[in-house]
Structure 1
Amino acid sequence: LLLLIACGPPAPPTVPEEALPAEAANAPDPLPSWNAGPVKQALLDFVERTTTTPGSPDFVPEPERIATFDNDGCLWSEQPMYFQLFFAIDRIKAMAPEHPEWKTTEPYASILKGDVNAALAGGEHAILELVMATHAGMTTEEFTAIVKDWLATATHPKTGMAFTDMTYQPMKELLAHLREHGYKTFIVSGGGIEFMRPWTEAVYGIPPEQVVGSSIRTSYAVREDGTPVLERLAELNFIDDKAGKPVGIHEHIGRRPTMAFGNSDGDFQMLEWTTAGDGPRFGMLVHHTDSVREWAYDRESHIGRLDRGLDEAEARGWVVADMARDWATVYGE
């Protein structure tokens, strides 16, 4: 099992043991779902000593304490396909009575026959068509209600769990620990921004204004009764993936993160841009190595592929968290 820990040359200065408050040694473990080891220690040292202890040479003022997290595969599972795609498929089935033409039109026909692989054989074009058909043509309020209704009843086909129960307990503890130390936590995901915003605050403690994601265009309109609405259009606006992530961070957040967390090569540029900044910086990749409690995948996976990140993490000073080794629990079992 792969475990890479590198603090980068030179290692960031830390506050000596004797400089820490005496009560720190007796404090409850803030990350109980993380196994003891260099990954957990690196997180604790960076958050508690390096960046938030007054007197540390690398102390970070609270307004600059920004931590960004990918969502799919970093905060919740993403196999055998992204959960938002499950949502789109269920929407196609629910909308089918209003679209009889879908019975003979791909990729809809294959979805209705239960052959998801055939439907997705059309690649990005097929996925984009499914997303546009299911995510546009309504107001933002209507879409929020649709997402919430789906999450309230939908379950994962393999685990039988609600999708929001397949969130990672170790990462939720980390989010809470960061906020306790003055960090503002953001999601920066390739997933749909309006798909995530309805539930991230309840599940992760991350409010909608701290969610950055891919989006379709939205337009302002006033209905005949005088009600102003925002309408979702079947047109791409922004793809928040790969090189788009630093752009999304700049446009939405306006500060370079101090810490960035991901799990795939789609997060590479976010970690690269974060750790290239001046002062103390921290990058971490979650490596999916646990085929018993979750899924084991990396270089050959079509979902959440992690290849370049594994090759370059050590040289770039990024921490690689091995899920099987470093997590005492995945979902809080």
Structure 2
Amino acid sequence: MIRLARLAGLFAAILIAAVPTLALSQDALPSWREGRAKAAIVAFVQKVTTEGTSFVPVADRIAVFDNDGTLWSEQPYYFQLGFMIDRVKVLAPEHPEWKEKEPFKSILEGNLAGLASAGEKGIVELGMATHAEMTTDEFSKIVTDWFATARHPKFKRPYNEITFLPMRELLDYLRDNGFKTYIVSGGGVEFMRPMTQKMYGIPPEQVIGSSIETKYLLEGDTPVLTREPKIDFIDDGAGKPVGINKFIGHRPIFVAGNSDGDYEMLRWATAGDGPRFGMIVHHTDADREYAYDRDSHFGKLDKALTEAGTRNWLLVDMKADWGRIYSFEDR
């Protein structure tokens, strides 16, 4: 009986000792192909989570991610622009003047080239017409309903399925290692917040984005927040590090983007003391997704692409480094 008890204890000790090894042997990033990119990510996470000179306390393990083109696709146009296009069509009967007014005229005629020529000014005008003069609750419901029914023009699937599986794995991997993950995007903050928990496991309070002015009002005796047709904050380019400082209050140690709109965020985050990791998703797969960089109207990657090597930012080659891009792909 004593011998059996000793054998049982020995067996239990062997199992306990083996648990860390088994956990480490599991692939936390299965959609990433073995290679330099995956190895660099794993090496950085192991370095900052292992006791030693490069160890980073949990409170300082902040990771920020751009959204458009980094966590979900942004071609043939930004998802939020797709939302605006659909909203214009819904609201058009109330605005007969749009038949002759750009950029609304181009949308109603299906002229995407004309819409593109409207530039930033035209996009802002679309945003004010389709995003404002309603309560925050009303807008959240409209966005949620749109995501439930709208389909991506290329893949003919719901937009909430057009997220990058390798990046979702990366978010989970970082969180499993004590990181707090944020979205820092040029997209509208209230356009993203209804969906980010379900899509990425990122709660609304950890989403930073562009915003329009919001006011407190009473409808009868009911307090509401109303969305005004006026820009409050643009969270793009140099606005991204400003937004991080304002809303997070920590300089991130891990930053991921995909375009020149993320350049200043990459510069600022990786310029801090201690271990830092900058990463750029390079869209190189025209068959499974899209291939674009320096000349794209959406997600232009030029300056950041040129400087990635000298600034030690990891350039992730989508075609070479990702075994799967979307969860609906065949294994």
**Displacement of 1:272 after TM fit?**
0.6
Alpha-carbon distance between aligned partners in 2 of 1:22 and 1:105, rounded to the nearest angstrom:
64
SS of the aligned residue for 1:191 comes to: strand
Q: Residue 113 and residue 63 in structure 1: after superposition, are their counterparts in 2 closer, same or farther (change >3 A)? A: same
Q: Which has the larger radius of gyration?
A: 2
In structure 2, the residue matched to 1:123 is 119
Post-superposition CA distance 1:38-97 (Å, at most 9, x none): 1101101111x21111x2211110011000000000000000111100000000000111
Alpha-carbon distance between aligned partners in 1 of 2:287 and 2:179, rounded to the nearest angstrom:
33
Alpha-carbon distance between aligned partners in 2 of 1:298 and 1:119, rounded to the nearest angstrom:
21
Alpha-carbon distance between aligned partners in 2 of 1:227 and 1:185, rounded to the nearest angstrom:
35
1:222 lines up with 2:218 in the alignment: yes
The letter for the 1-side match of 2:258 is: N
The letter for the 1-side match of 2:25 is: A
Alpha-carbon distance between aligned partners in 2 of 1:308 and 1:122, rounded to the nearest angstrom:
24
Which structure 2 segments of 5+ residues have no match?
A: 1-18
In structure 1, the residue matched to 2:235 is 240
1:298 lines up with 2:293 in the alignment: yes
1:193 lines up with 2:189 in the alignment: yes
**Displacement of 1:115 after TM fit?**
1.2
Alpha-carbon distance between aligned partners in 2 of 1:145 and 1:26, rounded to the nearest angstrom:
42
In structure 1, the residue matched to 2:83 is 87
In structure 1, the residue matched to 2:143 is 147
Q: Residue 46 and residue 111 in structure 1: after superposition, are their counterparts in 2 closer, same or farther (change >3 A)? A: same
Q: Residue 178 and residue 26 in structure 1: after superposition, are their counterparts in 2 closer, same or farther (change >3 A)? A: closer
Between Structure 1 and Structure 2, the one with more helix by share is: 2
1:312 lines up with 2:307 in the alignment: yes
Alpha-carbon distance between aligned partners in 1 of 2:262 and 2:305, rounded to the nearest angstrom:
12
1:168 lines up with 2:164 in the alignment: yes
Alpha-carbon distance between aligned partners in 2 of 1:111 and 1:291, rounded to the nearest angstrom:
26
SS of the aligned residue for 2:243 comes to: helix
1:50 lines up with 2:47 in the alignment: yes
In structure 1, the residue matched to 2:7 is none
1:329 lines up with 2:324 in the alignment: yes
Alpha-carbon distance between aligned partners in 2 of 1:256 and 1:227, rounded to the nearest angstrom:
39
Alpha-carbon distance between aligned partners in 2 of 1:174 and 1:108, rounded to the nearest angstrom:
39
> Percentage identity across aligned positions?
58
The letter for the 1-side match of 2:93 is: P
SS of the aligned residue for 2:72 comes to: coil
Q: Residue 26 and residue 182 in structure 1: after superposition, are their counterparts in 2 closer, same or farther (change >3 A)? A: closer
1:39 lines up with 2:37 in the alignment: yes
In structure 1, the residue matched to 2:5 is none
**Displacement of 1:27 after TM fit?**
2.5
Higher relative contact order (CA 8 A, sep 6+): 1
SS of the aligned residue for 2:225 comes to: strand
After TM superposition, which residue ranges in structure 1, 4 or more long, deviate above 4 angstroms? none
SS of the aligned residue for 1:200 comes to: helix
Alpha-carbon distance between aligned partners in 2 of 1:272 and 1:106, rounded to the nearest angstrom:
37
1:27 lines up with 2:25 in the alignment: yes
Alignment of 1:271-282 (within 5 A): 271-282=266-277
The letter for the 2-side match of 1:100 is: P
In structure 2, the residue matched to 1:13 is none
Matched pairs, number: 311
Structure 2-normalised TM-score?
0.92
Alpha-carbon distance between aligned partners in 2 of 1:314 and 1:167, rounded to the nearest angstrom:
27
1:264 lines up with 2:265 in the alignment: no
**163-172 or 106-115, which moves further after superposition?**
106-115
**Displacement of 1:22 after TM fit?**
5.9
**Displacement of 1:104 after TM fit?**
2.2
Post-superposition CA distance 1:263-302 (Å, at most 9, x none): 0011011111011000000000001010110000011111
In structure 2, the residue matched to 1:9 is none
RMSD after superposition: 1.4
